[in-house]
Structure 1
Amino acid sequence: MSSGALSPGEATEQLYQTGIHHLEEATQLTFLKNVYGGLLLSFGGLFSIIASAGCPGLDESNPGLVRLLQGITFPVGLVVVYFVGAELFTGYPMWLAMTALQRRGRPIEYVRGLAVSWLGNLVGALLVATSFSYLSNTLTEEPYRSGLVAEVTEDIVDAAWAVIFLRAIACGCLVTLAMFMGTQNGDGISKALGLHLPFFLATTARFPHTVKYMYYASAGMMMGAPLSVGGFLWKCMLPITLGNTIGGAVFTGAYNWWVFMYCEDQKAPDRFDGLDGGSDGGA
């Protein structure tokens, strides 16, 4: 196309190819790319905390404006992750849902990809939380410390498990939609906007993102948030990870597979044969 943008069907083909790549990717490469992705997205989180918590009086008089500040700043991390070729766990449910529906790969490859990406992101997020937020005293001073503690307390500690889970589904849908739009657009500015806008919606609504709360919750615990390690795993990571997985796999991965691959396959059964490249993806 003259604009350099892919059609939704062409972008779906690209996402499917990405899923095949992740099924076959070496474990150490998956881990390192996700460590770097967790680190970069956490820097976006650090930027968001400084921008929003740095105006403590604004939260009482104009809470919507504080949400907008978070929505504008946090997605910068996602844009950087995408541009440098790092990875985030939240993209894997979308990619792997498409490959699973195409009956590619083995179960162990799916388990490995999801587990290694999640652990890699956690390592990157903990590195930023400990070294660049706590030990560096970047967030230990007021009003940043109390702002982070208040947000973790409100969004995780005081929220019901089911509420966190439902909100995480919405985030999984929006963040994978951002990645879809980033894939769809060709030039740098369009890619950045495509990545930013859906994640802007998710961040403004404070829909929880797995890697965001790997960083927010761990840093908040260091700053004094009333959250234990057990609470971090059960009340924070479990519902957010499950919700993001369902949102990305169903609302973006399965939807695009059904509309642009399965339905089109009924009309042209050989359309996607060339995407397999003669490989069965380890099946």
Structure 2
Amino acid sequence: MPDGHPASGGLTPEDAAIETLHIGLHHLCETVELAFLKNVYGGLLLSAGGLLALVLATGFPDFDSSPGLSRLLQGTAFPVGLIVVYFLGAELFTGYPMWLAMTALDRKGFAFEYFRSTLVALAGNVVGAVWWAGIQSYFTETLTEEPWRSRIIEQVDSDITDNKWHVIFLRALGCGFLVTIAMLLGTQNRDGISKALGLHLPFVISTVAKFPHTVEYMYLGTTGMMLGARLTMGQFFWKCMLPIILGNSMGGAFTGAYNYWVFIRRADDKERTNNRNWLSDEAE
């Protein structure tokens, strides 16, 4: 039985997986300067969504007495950055583990190309996120006034400085899984509203649950340090970036591997089903 379309004008899961694989193949061949610029652009756009989320959530009057509501505000606002990134053709590091896991399982490319793609994506996102943290968040004094300053410091120290390494890693694993699910839904749906909802909803879950996103914490970590958080530069790399990058990578790679094996490799299973003589089986 053929797979039905999940929505009018949408791709089947198989077609979405194939298109995602092709995106990964494109990234293996993409020039360094183009990939870098796309990821700088992505870092800027996602950080803009992060700024919106911080202004809404940490400026909420009942911040301490209604933690769930402030999380919901942050979770609803932050994915706006991801939607804009996707619609404008920018890039984020968190998509690369999914794309490159699929190309690796398809035995495409060389080890150097995988290393180059990953490094360029991270470098571009760092430049974009740090630029937005310094120029658009700190020097504009958008977040330096109370209650935003003290609450952002509290959030950074609670999420990173005072948290355990393995907890940050496990949370990042969940984010890597959910954000790549969001990207798959964005690929699968064709009209703008469906794409926006598909990108938004899984990322809402991730943000509300405080699952850290690599580029989000490039922005939030540097903003927190500028505002006076206890997070040191060494802790930023060891306790913030390292576990989040590893967790996001493993979560995204799982999504890519699952979709490759289930929706691309399963063509053989469909062929066996279609070629089987069911009438003769019943007669026996």
The alignment's TM-score, normalised by the length of structure 2, stands at 0.92
Q: How many residues align?
A: 267
Q: CA deviation at 1:262?
A: 1.8
Equivalent residue in structure 2 for 1:67, among 68, 71, 82: 71
CA distance in 1, matches of 2:214, 2:260: 24
- CA distance in 1 between counterparts of 2:52 and 2:224 reads 15
Give the superposition deviation at 1:59: 2.2
User: Is 2:135 the counterpart of 1:131?
Assistant: yes
Unaligned runs of 5+ in 2: 273-284
- CA distance in structure 1 between the partners assigned to 2:157 and 2:236 by the alignment: 11
After superposition, the C-alpha distances for 1:195-247 in whole angstroms (9 at most, x for unaligned) are: 00000000000100000000000010000000111110000000000000000
Q: Which of 23, 27, 31 is the equivalent residue of 1:26?
A: 31
Q: Which moved more, 1:61-70 or 1:78-87?
A: 61-70
Aligned residue number for residue 275 of structure 2: none
Shift of 1:263: 2.4
Determine the C-alpha separation between the residues in 1 that align with 2:160 and 2:62. 22
Structure 1: gaps spanning 5 or more residues: 270-283
Tell me the residue number matched to 2:144: 140
Write the mapping of 1:230-245 to structure 2, written as runs, cut at 5 A. 230-245=234-249
Q: Distance in 2 between matches of 1:213 and 1:265?
A: 42
- Opposite residue 29 of structure 1, the aligned amino acid is L
2:242 matched to 1:213?
no
Q: Which amino acid aligns with 2:27?
A: H
Deviations 1:44-102 (A, max 9, x none): 000000000111x4222211111110110000000000000000000000000000000
Q: Distance in 2 between matches of 1:117 and 1:265?
A: 35
Mapped pair 1:257 → 2:274: no
1:15 and 2:15 equivalent? no
**Any idea what SS the aligned residue of 1:58 has?**
coil
The alignment yields a C-alpha RMSD, in angstroms, of 1.2
Is the 8 Å Cα contact of residues 49 and 147 (structure 1) preserved in structure 2? no
Residues 42, 128 of structure 1: 8 Å contact kept: yes
TM-score normalized with structure 1 length: 0.92
SS class of match (1:60)? coil
* Residue deviations 1:164-188 (CA, integer Å, cap 9, x gap): 0000000000000000000000000
Secondary structure, in 3 states, of the residue corresponding to 1:3?
coil
**Alpha-carbon distance in structure 1 between the residues aligned to 2:134 and 2:74:** 22
Separation of aligned partners in 2, 1:120 and 1:226: 26
Q: Taking structure 1 as reference, are residues 20 and 268 closer, same or farther at Cα in structure 2, changes over 3 Å only? A: farther
Structure 2 residue 110 is matched with structure 1 residue 106: yes
Partner letter of residue 42 of structure 2? G
CA distance in 2, matches of 1:160, 1:96: 29
Percent identity between the aligned chains? 60
